[in-house]
Amino acid sequence: MCGIFGIESHSDAANLTYLGLYALQHRGQESAGLASWDGRQMRVERGMGEVREIFPPRVLTALQGERAIGHTRYSTAGRSMIADAQPVVVMTAMGPLAIVHNGNLANAMDLRHRLEQEGSIFQTSSDTEVILHLMAKNPREDVVDSLMLALSQIRGAYSLLLLTRDAVIAARDPWGFRPLIEGELTSEGAGLGQNRSSAACFASETCALDLLGARKVGELQPGEVVVAREGNVERRKLRNVAEAQASRCAFEHVYFARPDSEIFGDPVSEVRTEMGRVLAREQPVEADLVSPVPDSGLFPALGFADQSGIPFEMGLIRNHYVGRTFIQPKQEIRDFGVRVKLNPVRRLIEGQRVVLVDDSIVRGTTSRKIVRMVREAGAREVHLRISSPPTQWPCHYGIDTPRRKELIAAQKDVDEICAYVEADSLGYMTVDGMLSCLSGPPESYCTACWSGGYRVPVSAAGAKQGNLFPILTEAKS
Amino acid sequence: MCGIFGIESHSDAANLTYLGLYALQHRGQESAGLASWDGRQMRVERGMGEVREIFPPRVLTALQGERAIGHTRYSTAGRSMIADAQPVVVMTAMGPLAIVHNGNLANAMDLRHRLEQEGSIFQTSSDTEVILHLMAKNPREDVVDSLMLALSQIRGAYSLLLLTRDAVIAARDPWGFRPLIEGELTSEGAGLGQNRSSAACFASETCALDLLGARKVGELQPGEVVVAREGNVERRKLRNVAEAQASRCAFEHVYFARPDSEIFGDPVSEVRTEMGRVLAREQPVEADLVSPVPDSGLFPALGFADQSGIPFEMGLIRNHYVGRTFIQPKQEIRDFGVRVKLNPVRRLIEGQRVVLVDDSIVRGTTSRKIVRMVREAGAREVHLRISSPPTQWPCHYGIDTPRRKELIAAQKDVDEICAYVEADSLGYMTVDGMLSCLSGPPESYCTACWSGGYRVPVSAAGAKQGNLFPILTEAKS
Amino acid sequence: MCGIFGIESHSDAANLTYLGLYALQHRGQESAGLASWDGRQMRVERGMGEVREIFPPRVLTALQGERAIGHTRYSTAGRSMIADAQPVVVMTAMGPLAIVHNGNLANAMDLRHRLEQEGSIFQTSSDTEVILHLMAKNPREDVVDSLMLALSQIRGAYSLLLLTRDAVIAARDPWGFRPLIEGELTSEGAGLGQNRSSAACFASETCALDLLGARKVGELQPGEVVVAREGNVERRKLRNVAEAQASRCAFEHVYFARPDSEIFGDPVSEVRTEMGRVLAREQPVEADLVSPVPDSGLFPALGFADQSGIPFEMGLIRNHYVGRTFIQPKQEIRDFGVRVKLNPVRRLIEGQRVVLVDDSIVRGTTSRKIVRMVREAGAREVHLRISSPPTQWPCHYGIDTPRRKELIAAQKDVDEICAYVEADSLGYMTVDGMLSCLSGPPESYCTACWSGGYRVPVSAAGAKQGNLFPILTEAKS
Amino acid sequence: MCGIFGIESHSDAANLTYLGLYALQHRGQESAGLASWDGRQMRVERGMGEVREIFPPRVLTALQGERAIGHTRYSTAGRSMIADAQPVVVMTAMGPLAIVHNGNLANAMDLRHRLEQEGSIFQTSSDTEVILHLMAKNPREDVVDSLMLALSQIRGAYSLLLLTRDAVIAARDPWGFRPLIEGELTSEGAGLGQNRSSAACFASETCALDLLGARKVGELQPGEVVVAREGNVERRKLRNVAEAQASRCAFEHVYFARPDSEIFGDPVSEVRTEMGRVLAREQPVEADLVSPVPDSGLFPALGFADQSGIPFEMGLIRNHYVGRTFIQPKQEIRDFGVRVKLNPVRRLIEGQRVVLVDDSIVRGTTSRKIVRMVREAGAREVHLRISSPPTQWPCHYGIDTPRRKELIAAQKDVDEICAYVEADSLGYMTVDGMLSCLSGPPESYCTACWSGGYRVPVSAAGAKQGNLFPILTEAKS
- The domain made up of B267-319+332-451 has a fold known as Rossmann fold (3.40.50)
Which residues of chain A lie closer than 8 angstroms to C63, CB-CB? 475
- Output the CATH code of domain D266-319+334-451: 3.40.50.2020
Give D 57-96 residues with CB within 8 A of chain C: 57, 60
Per-residue pLDDT, averaged over C233-253, amounts to 94
Q: Where are the alpha helices (DSSP H) in C203-341?
A: 206-212, 250-251, 268-282, 298-308, 336-339
- Residue of A43, A48, A91, A133 to mutate, interface with C, max C Cβ within 10 Å: A91
C339 — contact with chain D (CB < 8 Å)? yes
Residue D464: per-residue pLDDT: 42
* B249 is known as an active-site residue: no
Fold of the domain spanning A252-320+335-451:
Rossmann fold (3.40.50)
Q: Which chain A residue has its CA at the smallest distance from C39's CA? A: A470
CB contacts of C199 in chain D (<8 Å) are: none
C-alpha distance from D180 to closest chain C C-alpha (Å): 19
Task: Inform me whether the pLDDT recorded for C141 exceeds 80.
Answer: yes
Q: Do A339 and B259 touch (CB under 8 A)?
A: no
Helix (H) or strand (E) segment spanning residue D184: strand D181-186
CB contact under 8 A, B12 and A326: no
Question: What are the residue ranges spanned by the domains of chain D?
Answer: 2-247, 266-319+334-451
Give the model confidence (pLDDT) of D285-341 as tens digits.
999 999 999 988 999 999 999 999 999 999 999 988 765 556 677 777 777 888 889
pLDDT at C458: 81
Q: Quote the ipTM score.
A: 0.89
| CATH number of this structure's domain C252-451, picked from the four choices 3.60.15.10, 3.30.710.10, 3.40.50.2020, 3.30.470.20 | 3.40.50.2020
pLDDT beyond 50 at D192 = no
* C44 φ/ψ sector (left φ>0, alpha ψ -120 to 50, else beta): beta
Which chains touch B (3+ CB pairs under 8 A)? Answer: A, D
Proportion of chain D above pLDDT 70, given as a percent: 91
Q: Is the pLDDT of residue C50 over 80?
A: yes
pLDDT recorded at residue C189? 41
Kindly give the parts of chain B with pLDDT less than 70: 75-84, 188-196, 322-327, 460-477
Q: What are phi and psi of B235, to 5 degrees?
A: -115, 140
Indicate which of D121, D125, D143 best probes the interface with B, i.e. most B CBs within 10 Å of its own CB. Answer: D121
- Longest Cα–Cα distance of chain D, Å, equals 72
Residue to test with chain A: of B307, B310, B331, most A Cβ within 10 A: B331
Per-residue pLDDT, D401: 80
For residue D246, pLDDT over 60 is answered with yes
Do residues B371 and B422 lie in contact, with contact meaning Cβ atoms separated by under 8 Å? yes
Give the minimum alpha-carbon distance from B56 to chain D in angstroms, rounded to a whole number.
Answer: 10
The pairs formed by D257-261 with CB atoms below 8 angstroms and a separation of 24 or more are D257/D179, D257/D205, D258/C317, D258/C343, D258/D23, D258/D26, D258/D205, D258/D207, D259/C314, D259/C317, D259/C345, D259/D298, D259/D299, D260/C317, D260/C343, D260/C344, D260/C345, D260/D206, D260/D207, D260/D210, D261/D205, D261/D206, D261/D207
D321 vs C25, C312, C323: nearest CB = C25
Most distant pair of Cα atoms in chain B: their distance: 72
> Residue type at D106?
A
Positive or negative, the CA dihedral B121, D119, D100, D47 is negative
Nearest alpha carbon to residue C155 among C180, C133, C139, C174? C174
Tell whether B122 lies on the interface with D, counting CB pairs under 8 A.
yes
**What local confidence, expressed as pLDDT, does residue A190 receive?**
42
For D25-176, strand residue ranges (E) read: 31-37, 42-48, 67-73, 88-92, 95-105, 156-163, 167-172
Q: What is the pLDDT of residues D130-176, one digit of tens each?
A: 999 999 999 999 999 999 999 999 999 999 999 999 999 999 999 99
Q: What is the pLDDT of residue B190?
A: 42
Q: How many CB atoms lie within 10 A of CB D242?
A: 9
Name the residue of chain D whose CA is nearest to B133's CA: D121
- Are C473 and A42 spatial neighbours (Cβ–Cβ below 8 Å)? yes
**What gap in Å lies between CA D447 and CA D397, rounded to an integer?**
11
Over residues C177-184, the mean pLDDT reads: 97
Q: Picking from A64-68, A378-382, D453-457, which range would have the lowest pLDDT averaged per residue?
A: D453-457
Residues of C in contact with A120 (CB under 8 A): 92, 119-121, 136
Return d(Cα A34, Cα C475) in angstroms, integer. 10
Three-state SS for chain A is CEEEEEEECCCCHHHHHHHHHHHCHHHCCCEEEEEEECCCCEEEEEEECCHHHHCCHHHHHHCCCCEEEEEEECCCCCCCCHHHCCCEEEEECCEEEEEEEEEEECCHHHHHHHHHHCCCCECCCCHHHHHHHHHHHCCCCCHHHHHHHHHCCCCEEEEEEEECCCEEEEEECCCCCCCCEEEEEECCCCCCCCCCCEEEEEECCHHHHHHHCCEEEEECCCCEEEEEECCEEEEEECHHHCCCCCCEEHHHHHHHCCCCCEECCEEHHHHHHHHHHHHHHHCCCCCCEEEECCCCCHHHHHHHHHHHCCCECCCEEECCCCCCCCCCCCCCCCCHHHHCCEEECHHHHCCCEEEEEECCCCCCHHHHHHHHHHHHCCCCEEEEEECCCCCCCCCCCCCCCCCHHHCHHHHCCHHHHHHHHCCCEEEECCHHHHHHCCCCCHHHEECHHHHCCCCCCCCHHHHCHHHHCCCCEECCC
Of A371-375, A458-462, C195-199, give the lowest mean pLDDT range. A458-462
Under DSSP, the state recorded for B256 is I
- Mean of per-residue pLDDT scores for chain A: 89
Strand order in D232-237's β-sheet? D88-92, D95-105, D156-163, D167-172, D224-229, D232-237
What does the pLDDT average to over A276-288? 98
Q: What is the average per-residue pLDDT within C38-53?
A: 87
pLDDT given at position A469: 41
What pLDDT was estimated at residue D475?
A: 45
Contact D119 B136 (CB under 8 A): yes
Helix (H) or strand (E) holding D349, with range, is helix D346-349
Q: How far apart are CA D256 and CA D272, in angstroms?
A: 11
* Burial group, residue D41, by CB count within 10 angstroms (0-12, 13-18, 19+): middle
Distance CA C265, CA C267 (A): 7
Q: What is the tens place of the pLDDT at every residue in A142-170?
A: 999 999 999 999 999 999 999 999 999 99
Contact call for D83 and B44, based on CB within 8 A? yes
Identify the closest residue of chain D to B130 by CA–CA distance: D121
Residue D467 has pLDDT above 70, yes or no: no
If we measure between CA atoms, which residue out of B216, B227, B117, B206 comes closest to residue B162? B227
The mean pLDDT value for C411-422 works out to 98
Cβ(C294)–Cβ(C317) below 8 Å: yes
Flag if B313 and A321 touch (Cβ within 8 Å): no
Characterize the bridge pairing of strands A31-37 and A67-73: antiparallel
Query: Exposed/middle/buried for A300, CB within 10 Å: 0-12, 13-18, 19+?
Result: buried
Phi and psi at residue C244, in whole multiples of 5°?
-95, 140
Mean pLDDT of C10-36: 93
Within 248-277 of C, beta carbons closer than 8 Å to D belong to 258-260, 262, 267, 269-270
What are the residues whose beta carbons fall under 8 Å from the beta carbon of A417, sequence distance 6 or more?
Answer: A361, A364, A390, A408, A409, A426
Active site (catalytic) residues of D: 2
Interface test with chain B among A187, A263, A271, A345, by most B beta carbons within 10 Å: A345
A401 pLDDT tier (thresholds 50, 70, 90): confident
> D45 touching B, CB under 8 A?
yes
Band the pLDDT of C353: cuts 50, 70, 90: very high
Each residue's pLDDT tens digit, D73-90 = 876 433 444 556 789 999
The pLDDT, as a whole number, for residue C83 is: 59
Structure confidence at residue B414 (pLDDT) = 98
Q: Quote the CATH superfamily of domain A2-247.
A: Aminohydrolase, N-terminal nucleophile (Ntn) domain (3.60.20.10)
Q: Which residue of D has its CA nearest to B131?
A: D121
**Per-residue pLDDT tens digits for B3-34:** 999 999 999 999 999 999 999 999 988 889 99
Residue from A167, A178, A169 nearest A150 by CA: A169
Q: Which chain D residue lies closest to C347 (C-alpha atoms)?
A: D267
User: pLDDT (tens digit, 9 = 90+) per residue, D456-466?
Assistant: 988 765 444 44
How far is C470 from chain D, CA to nearest CA, in Å? Answer: 31
Say yes or no: D186 contacts chain C, CB-CB below 8 A.
no
Task: Determine contact, residues D339/D281, Cβ cutoff 8 Å.
Answer: no
Query: How many other C-beta atoms lie within 10 A of the C-beta of residue C58?
Result: 10
d(CA C127, CA C47): 19
